[in-house]
Amino acid sequence: MKEERAEQQTAEDNGEDAQSPNAGDEVAQEINRLANAMAQAARTLWSSEQRHQLETDLRRSLGSLVENVEEVLTRFNQSEQGQDLQEQAAKVADRVRSSGLAAELKEGLTKGLKTAATEVQKFADSLEERPAETDAQDIPVESDNAAKEEVSKQKK
């Protein structure tokens, strides 16, 4: 890698075009190096002490929140208002069941989910049926010299 860097620097110093036959390989190598550096940074952050401490603090806080909510709900359920609400909810549930609305809702939901699953499957199948595309993309790329000229124009 260092040898390639030295060759690239020598080519640039000699005024050679950056679009030499190895330019594409160099770009791919740099992209690979960037991806590796990002992966290493992510691994380092994930295993850091700060992340572990944050996770511990979040778990403790969420556990406390759950306990508090459960306590409030328990007290509400034991209160007269809570019991009245439970009775009203049971009556509404009975009316929905007896009216057949629940069966209609279930049927409609099932039909909608079936249609959605079918469409997603069609989409997935269409992706698999596409002919293999080449790695080349139609994205214009300026040479290093053109990019340097553009930067110097912007600075003026």
What are the φ/ψ torsions at residue 36 (nearest 5 degrees)?
-65, -40
Q: How many CA atoms lie within 13 A of 109 on its CB side?
A: 6
C-alpha–C-alpha distance, residues 60 and 82, integer Å: 29
Confidence of residue 9 (pLDDT cuts 50, 70, 90): low
pLDDT surpasses 80 at 3? no
pLDDT surpasses 80 at 141? no
Confidence of residue 154 (pLDDT cuts 50, 70, 90): low
- 36-45, 90-99, 125-134: which range is least confident on average? 125-134
Higher pLDDT, 150 or 79: 79
pLDDT surpasses 50 at 2? no
Higher pLDDT, 146 or 96: 96
- The pLDDT score that the predictor gives to residue 144 is 54
What is the dihedral sign for C-alpha 81, 86, 91, 92?
Answer: positive
- Is 25 in contact with 5 (CB distance < 8 Å)? no
Q: At what angle do helices 80-99 and 101-129 cross, to 10 degrees?
A: 80
- The pLDDT score that the predictor gives to residue 90 is 92
Tokens matching residue 98: 């007896």
Q: What is the pLDDT of residues 18-73, one digit of tens each?
A: 455 566 788 888 899 999 999 988 888 888 888 899 999 999 999 999 999 999 99
Per DSSP, the residues of 28-84 read: HHHHHHHHHHHHHHHHHHHTSHHHHHHHHHHHHHHHHHHHHHHHHHHHHHHSHHHHH
- The pLDDT score that the predictor gives to residue 123 is 84
Q: Where are the domains of the chain?
A: 21-78
Backbone conformation region of residue 15, classed left if phi is above 0, alpha if psi is from -120 to 50, else beta? left
Flag whether the pTM goes above 0.75.
no
Look at residue 155 and give its three-state secondary structure.
helix
Higher pLDDT, 153 or 18: 153
